[in-house]
Structure 1
Amino acid sequence: MNPAEQLCVSLLSKCKTLKTVKQVHAFASKTGLDAHPFVFGKLLLHCAVTISDALRYARRLFLHFRNPDAFMYNTLIRGLAESDTPHNALVVFAEMRRKLTDPIDSFSFAFVLKAAANCGDLRDGMRLHCQALVCGLDTHLFVGTTLISMYAECGRVKFARLVFEEMREPNVVAWNAILTACFRCGDAKGAEAMFRWMPLRNLTSWNILLSGYVKTDELELAKKAFLRMLMKDDVSWSTMIVGFAQSGCFDEAFGFFRELQREGIRPNEASLTGVLSACAQAGAFEFGKILHGLVEKAGLHWMISVNNALLDTYSKSGNMDMARLVFERMPEKKSIISWTSMIAALAMHGYGKEAIQIFRKMEMSGTKPDGITFISVLYACSHAGLVDEGCEYFAKMRVLYGIEPAIEHYGCMVDLYGRAGKLQKAYDFVHELPISPNAVIWRTLLGACSIHGNVELAEQVKEALSKLDPDNSGDHVLLSNVYAVAGKWKDVAALRRSMADQRIKKAPGWSVIEVDRVMYSFMAGKQSNKITEEAYEKLRGIMLKLRVEGGYVPEVRSVLHDIEEEDKEDSVFRHSEKLAVAFGLARQREGQIIRIVKNLRVCRDCHTVMKLISKVYGVEIVVRDRSRFHSFKDGSCSCKDYW
């Protein structure tokens, strides 16, 4: 390699962007080096593999080289295999077989099999397997390992096992591939057996086992495996933190993160986003603030993913001021996830007009919204009663951005009309859909019927739901609620008997509150302990004070039993969010905001009680139910009683 070629290759190795690559390409073209196979191959490799947004440029480069060799073909196939259009790698491979006289090597098959795996294309994968067999490369270690992964991606664990069994001397990478294949195809027992038989295990083997257990919700087995590990890396810790957070085991996720810190390991991007996700789901505001401080101290505030997780944590913990601050401090070039997260956060809190303003800023910034962004915008319009604006954005999505509505967008429109009381409009909209409505869309309409007390339409909707999802307890409860509000107690009793006969049980309501960075959970009717007894004792005093000073009258119309008035009052008295707020008043310092997360929609009586408590006790309460936030202050709610 002469000095000019060395200089060109050296310059390429320092390129981090497509712009700088183009400058080196211009230099190579000017000096005639772009015709040199070695230099051109390096240039192609940099564009196809190293630079994330240069694949299209790589394809154009490839077309301009007269006689590309096997290395060049393999480079382009490799880049396309990992792209959003992996099927194009199969096309290039077919061209390579036609034009090159040299035999196809193991790299070609490995890269193109990866493309077939990413396409999930079993037919092409099996065809490639046959071609590898003809070329005598099917038992090659590199090709065999990729074949195992390909069959796993296509859900054929038996085929993956057959390939593995035919390998002469599988190394630890091949063993790890079959271990992954078993878990990916849902064969946890087969994976455990493979793990036991492995002649040699490395750290990756253990991490695959952890990940497999976590994904199959075998958390106790994951714990046991984690404790057996002699060595752990960032992936090990992140797997446990993220896995437990996603399974709703927030205390355990926090515990793993604290243990990681005690071990003196610096948190990485995955562990931070994982534990912040747990904070967001649990509404753990105080712990989230500590993590924010850790991010700042560690100098990780530049990471977009960590910022997005912080924004999500603050918004789902009910602190929009901090969420806005995180969003404003993000780098100017925000990702589409950042914009969409902020719109969704404002939507959850009922700030529909502000969410639309952020959407417009996003458009002005040059960031093109996607389907998920429009779900957040429509959600914002729905929860703020902005019907006309919602219709406008629904039309804009298709006309201006060419995004065809998915079932989720149609569901948002049904919710938009339903919440606004336009039930007939919502019903007609469902019947005019170009696709078959799913259970979620009908359930959304049933919820609107429940809110507005439309018995006749609720019965029609429930009939449609019964055909799609007959065993859903929530649908029965919603219809019972409509009957109860209308005073149709015979229908309530008949529906409850039907639920009992079909052994359909109502999902229990629970609420979570964070006090001194410890999470406390309350469930209506749960066996009493010292914590619940403390909450009940405080709640009795609160309810008495609300009756005397706030003029509280229990809202019992929606109680599902045709029972005595006193028993109805006792039923709504025991709701989990009331227990949580009582515990907060008993334990938290004066002036602190009480933050509660509830798994179900807050009922009208609890909504009234929260407003009265905020007025009588002079405290701010933030409740996150399953669909939005309610911020209670001075006797009023941020939802303006529109939820």
Structure 2
Amino acid sequence: METLSTPLVSLPIQANPGAPTVKNDNRNRLVLSLIDRCISLKQLKQVHAYMLRTGLFFDAYSASKLFTAGTLSPFLSLEYARKVFDEILEPNLYTWNTLIRAYSWSPEPSESVKIFLRMLCESPYFPNKFTFPFLIKAATKLSRLGVGQVFHGLVVKSSFGDDVFILNSLIHFYASCGDLDFAYRVFVRIDEKDVVSWNSMISGYVQGGCFDKALELFREMEAENVKSNAVTMVGVLSACTKMKDLEFGRWICSYIEQNGIKMDLTLSNAMLDMYVKCGSVEDAKKLFDKMEEKDIVSWTTMIDGYAKLGEYDVAKSFLDAVPRQETATWNALISAYDQNGKPQEALAIFHQLQLSKNAKPDELTFVSTLSSCAQLGAMDVGEWIHANIKKQRMNLNCHLTTSLIDMYSKCGNLEKALDVFHSVERRDVFVWSSMIAGLAMHGRGRAAIDLFFRMHEAKVKPNAVTFTNVLCACSHSGLVEEGRMFFNQMEPVYGVVPGVKHYACMVDILGRAGLLEEAVEFIEKIPITPSASVWGALLGACKIHENVELAEQACSRLLELEPENDGALVLLSNIYAKTGKWDNVSELRKRMRVSGLQKERGWSSMEVNGTLHKFLAADNSHPLSKEIYSKLDEIVAKLKSSGHVTNKSLLLQLVDEEDMKEQALNLHSEKLAIAFGLISTGPSQPIRIVKNLRVCGDCHTVAKLISKLYDKEILLRDRLNIAIDVASTIEYLHHHSQPPMVHGDLKPSKVLLDHDMIPHVGDFGLAKFMSDHLLGTAPGTQSSSIGIKGIVGYVA
């Protein structure tokens, strides 16, 4: 077989390279045939050089063929093609269209429009029916509605208004720009719709979230006896997937088989996705086993499906069985673990990915892993990811920026969160919101509000997440009037309709401030049915202010909505215990035993040199258990010598012996973790502890004293067992930072001190203790836990 490695040197060279025409037709045909056989840009340039030397390039047809090869071939180089185009003396309309087409497919679609305008000015040609689809495609990629409308007007003026190919392009354009009404107007104008017309409109409805209209249009298509194809089915299956309509999805799968629609890989994957997301992994598995061809999407869909069902062993077996483990398959499992409250397992998979030779972490990997780091307080791993992002010179886009700010904030390092925020030029609403949340959870309510106004000055429009975070900041800094102001301005000023989270935040703001009657009146005026989170906020406020009667009412309403919410019963039990109603405590615990509900066991975790250590109350399973308890005895002795008296009233169990009460409090998991931290970290290394439940008042006080006695920075964080909205968190300019709000005669502190962010938002409480500060907790800043599984109050 002939190749292009050497043949050009053997071709005879034309004596007059400047001649505009070439006489040897056989040689010309040979040269032109070589263009079709080029498999690299280097070979094409060899042909180009020969054509210049022989004068063949000055033949319009020959030059056009060379240009087309450079523009549309698999090894295309638009830079080279553009240079060739500029050397063509009189490019014909086909050549102009080819260049417009190439740019419409490129990352620079705006060049298509520029070439079109140049064609109108420099050439004698007017666009034809082949020109407009490429221009409309460019406008689609640019998402420029006005530009596409201009081309639509030119189409009508050029008498191409009935060309079905152009009209199909316009349907896709308007749908992509979000103007579904105009897309449908174009659709109904087509007299003889082909299958592409129907597919374009169905896909437009799916992309625009009008899933019911997509299915309705498919039924109309059937009534018109238009034969569906694989593209139609992908669109319809996507609508079924979004609507979680498994029954109709199964009917579509039968329809595909009955009508002999060719099953390609894309359609098979769409069916797999429908089954998995509609909750039938069994059907997905049957289809998967029958598929002759599978790609990374097929495997990833199955991994994701089993992982989200909690069948992690099966998901891992699929990951191990993938013929070629690509990053996307690892991401599916890491993300599933992260989103289903298993951050430690997510980090374990991430570490396995690091050891893999076939895949490398990418942006999506880092986003999910940073979320897990935030949940666990695993800042060492988070810092490694941050360093790796810098090392790889990865673009710090808004997703990564938000995740880094969220991770540093939740790991207690507000300064690094601020550094990340200041290091980026582009900040979308989620980056701003993330920084606002970080300031809020660190007790800097006024700083969070200040940042909100800076966001407004930057012309970034706040969304529902932003207002959730601002209201949380008001709640945890006792800014009642500011909270009312922001809530009342949401819809009339900013166009954000208050949702369930915002109503719960307002109840939390009022409840923490002791305005329980106003909170009840607010709930009664809520225009939507109050959710469990609203009643949970009221219940948490009742715990702070020891209002038993109202707590019983709030708990009752909460349990009507969530009968299996064990956290609500535990919190009510804690309120009874704090007020000495031990008979009520026993009755509630008996009720929980009868109904099979169990209080989640408390644990605390700590990261040391990238390794997580987990402790239960009275735990002796740690390898350094003997050293830990020895250190704990030393701590207790130092506390007593410093005058500390254990607050036994915080023990929410009926224990008669005083010594037993004190011992029970001393063996709380966070105290074991602190003891471990003191023997395993360096002098300047802070102790960072995450607890899955609420940190009790005695542990809170003891942590302050240990920080002072041992000259050690200690960070304690509550982590509630609910999904964390990574996209909902903060930023602030350091020179405007303010200390936490102080009430009454409490001494000011430069330390951040804020107990739990409300759990329906997915945040936590964070308290930071420094040895050189005397801390006090402002009234009304204790937990106002929301009624979701995981509310626990002061339970060890």
Shared fold (TM-score greater than 0.5)? yes
Mapped pair 1:561 → 2:654: yes
In the other structure, the counterpart of 1:575 is 668
In structure 2, C-alpha distance between the alignment counterparts of 1:493 and 1:458, rounded to whole Å: 17
Shift of 1:164: 3.2
Q: Does 1:227 align with 2:320?
A: yes
Separation (CA, whole Å) in 2 of partners of 1:21 and 1:390: 51
Distance 1:578 1:56, change over 3 A: farther
Q: CA deviation at 1:219?
A: 1.3
Helix, strand or coil: the match of 1:403? coil
Gap change, CA 1:366 and 1:534, over 3 Å in 2: same
Q: 1:200 to 1:5 in 2, by over 3 A?
A: closer
Structure 2 counterpart of 1:148, which letter? L
Please tell me whether residue 330 in structure 1 is matched to residue 424 in structure 2: yes
Could you give the per-residue CA deviations for residues 312-344 of structure 1, whole angstroms, max 9, x where no partner exists? 11111110111000000012x311111011001
* Matched position secondary structure for 1:446: helix
Deviation at 1:533?
A: 5.4
Counterparts of 1:73-88 in structure 2, within 5 Å, are 73-82=167-176, 85=178, 88=179
Equivalent of 1:111 in 200, 207, 223 = 200
Is residue 384 of structure 2 the alignment partner of residue 290 of structure 1?
A: yes
- Rounded to whole Å, the distance in 2 between the matches of 1:303 and 1:503 is 47
Q: Is residue 40 of structure 1 aligned with residue 132 of structure 2?
A: yes
Looking at structure 1, the residues matched to 107 and 622 of structure 2 have their Cα atoms a distance apart, in angstroms, of 63
Supply the AA of the counterpart residue of 1:631.
K
Compute the displacement of 1:80 (Å).
4.7
Shift of 1:76: 3.5
- The equivalent residue for 2:538 is 445
Could you say which residue in structure 2 is the equivalent of 1:540? 633
Structure 2 vs 1, CA of residues 10 and 546 (structure 1 numbering), >3 Å: closer, same or farther?
same
2:466 aligned to 349, 373, 382, which one? 373
Q: Which residue of 2 is the match for residue 100 of structure 1? A: 190
1:305 counterpart = 2:399: yes
CA gap 1:524/1:636 in 2 versus in 1, 3 angstroms? same
Distance 1:638 1:181, change over 3 A: farther
- Can you list the C-alpha shifts for 1:213-264, whole angstroms capped at 9, x where unaligned? 2222221111111111121222112222222233343344333333333335
Which of 234, 242, 245 matches 1:153? 242
Q: Residue 522 of structure 1 aligns to a residue in which SS?
A: strand
TM-aligned CA distance change 1:123 to 1:413, over 3 Å:
closer
- Taking only the aligned residue pairs, the percentage that are identical comes to 33
- Please give the alpha-carbon distance, in whole angstroms, between the structure 1 residues aligned to 2:707 and 2:466: 34
The answer to whether the 8 A contact 1:480-1:560 is kept is: no
Distance in 2 separating the partners of 1:623 and 1:14: 51
Q: CA RMSD in A?
A: 2.8
Using structure 1 for the length normalisation, give the TM-score: 0.91
Deviations 1:198-226 (A, max 9, x none): 22222322122112222222211111111
Question: Helix, strand or coil for the counterpart of 2:263?
Answer: coil
Which residue is 1:58 aligned to?
A: 148
- Going from structure 1 to structure 2, the CA distance change for 1:263 and 1:133 (only over 3 Å counts) comes to same
Which range moves more in the overlay, 554-563 or 31-40?
31-40
Partner residue of 1:236? 329
Q: 1:604 to 1:42 in 2, by over 3 A?
A: same
Query: What CA distance in whole angstroms lies between the structure 2 residues aligned with 1:548 and 1:299?
Result: 54
Instruction: Give me the whole-angstrom Cα distance separating, in 1, the residues matched to 2:521 and 2:150.
Output: 50
Query: 1:632 is matched with which residue?
Result: 769
1:124 equivalent among 190, 198, 213:
213
Aligned residue for 1:596?
Answer: 689
Q: C-alpha distance in 2, partners of 1:180/1:296?
A: 35
User: Cα gap change, 1:56/1:584 in structure 2, threshold over 3 Å: closer, same or farther?
Assistant: farther
Residue in 2 that maps onto 1:610: 703
Are 1:347 and 1:376, in contact at CA under 8 Å, matched by a contact in 2? yes
Q: 1:279 matched to which residue of 2?
A: 373
Moved more, 93-102 or 488-497: 93-102
Separation of aligned partners in 2, 1:34 and 1:354? 60
- Measured against aligned partners, the alpha-carbon deviations of 1:474-527 in whole angstroms (never above 9, x if no partner) come to 111222222222222222222222222322211222221101110112223667
Corresponding residue SS for 2:573: helix
Read off the aligned partner of 1:269 and give its amino acid letter.
E
| Alignment correspondent of 1:507 | 600
Which of these residues, 555, 573, 582, is aligned with residue 480 of structure 1? 573
2:584 matched to which residue of 1?
491
Q: Could you say what secondary structure the match of 2:297 adopts?
A: helix
- Counterpart CA distance in 2 for 1:139 and 1:98 is 18
**CA 1:131–1:425 in 2, change beyond 3 Å: closer, same or farther?**
closer
Equivalent-residue separation in structure 2 for 1:563 and 1:358 (angstroms): 51
Greater mean alpha carbon deviation, residues 456-465 or residues 270-279: 456-465
For residues 640 and 691 of structure 2, the distance between their equivalents in structure 1, rounded to whole angstroms, comes to 25
- Following superposition, the deviation at residue 23 of structure 1 comes to 5.7
Task: Name the one with the larger helix percent.
Answer: 1
Residue 557 (structure 1) shift: 3.7
Q: Are 1:171 and 2:264 an aligned pair?
A: yes
CA gap 1:490/1:257 in 2 versus in 1, 3 angstroms:
closer
Which AA in structure 1 matches 2:131?
V
* 1:432–1:23 Cα change, 3 Å: same
- 1:33 and 1:417 map into 2 onto residues whose CA distance is 71
**SS of the residue 2:323 aligns to:** coil
Matched, 1:431 2:524: yes
Q: Does 1:321 align with 2:409?
A: no
* Counterpart residue identity of residue 323, structure 1: A
* Structure 1 counterpart SS, 2:237: helix
Count of aligned pairs between the two proteins:
634
2:212–2:239 contact (8 Å) kept in structure 1: no
SS of 2:130's equivalent?
helix
**Partner of residue 713 from structure 2, selected from 620, 629, 634:** 620
- Deviation of 1:123 (Å): 4.5
CA offsets 1:431-482 (integer angstroms, 9 cap, x no match): 2222221111111111111012122322232232232223322111222222
The 1:131/1:427 distance shift into structure 2, 3 A limit, reads closer
Residue 205 (str. 1) matches residue 307 (str. 2): no
Residue type matched to 1:632 in 2? F
Q: Is the 8 A contact 1:552 1:609 kept in 2?
A: no
Determine whether 1:70 maps to 2:160: no
Q: After TM superposition, give the deviation of residue 13 of structure 1 in Å.
A: 5.8
Query: Counterparts in 2 of 1:337-376, with a 5 A limit?
Result: 337-376=430-469
Change (3 A) 1:97 1:329: closer
Could you tell me how far apart the structure 1 residues matched to 2:199 and 2:626 are? 63
How far residue 122 of structure 1 moved from its aligned partner, in angstroms, is 5.7
Deviation at 1:96, TM superposition (A): 4.0
The 3-state SS of whatever aligns with 1:194 is helix
Partner of 1:261 in structure 2? 354
CA offset digits 1:583-606 (Å, max 9, x no partner): 111211222100111122222111
Alpha-carbon separation, structure 1, partners of 2:459 and 2:97: 39
Alpha-carbon separation, structure 2, partners of 1:406 and 1:461: 20
Q: Identify if the C-alpha distance between structure 1 residues 480 and 74 changes in structure 2 by more than 3 Å, giving closer, same or farther.
A: same
Report how far residue 622 of structure 1 moved. 0.8
Q: What SS is found at the alignment partner of 2:557?
A: helix
2:275 counterpart (176, 182, 190): 182
Letter of the 2:767 counterpart: H
